[in-house]
Amino acid sequence: MALETVGRETVTGLSAIKTLTVPAGTSHAWVQALTQNVRMTLEGTDPTSSLGIRLTAGDPPIEITGEEARNAEFIEEAASATLEVVYKGNSI
């Protein structure tokens, strides 16, 4: 069965740690930093501007599981970062 888009989210205000609003039915998410680099953690550790997986602005989106998306935390490396997220799964 093909995955359907179950939601989208644009995350701004990343000068403070942000989490995602993951829709019901999400099994995967595609995450991309658009304007500045963003740091991401998946296991509950708070990211900082130098700690966490680096999402480099302009790189292709990365895929994470729905569970990882529910636990993910993000913060920008430099001011004015924007994060784009597409959620995929089975519509409920």
Q: What is the pLDDT of residues 14-68, one digit of tens each?
A: 999 999 999 999 999 999 999 999 999 999 899 999 999 999 999 999 999 999 9
H runs (alpha helix) in 1-92: 66-71
**Residue in the structure block whose two tokens are 């609003």:** 21
Domain, as residue range, for 58: 4-89
Which CATH number is 34's domain given?
2.60.120.770
Q: Look up the pTM and report it.
A: 0.92
Structure tokens that stand for 68 in this block: 């990882």
Structural domain count, the chain: 1
**Terminal-residue alpha carbon distance, the chain:** 14
Q: What is the pLDDT of residues 15-27, one digit of tens each?
A: 999 999 999 999 9
**Parallel, antiparallel, or unpaired for β 26-33 and 83-89?**
antiparallel
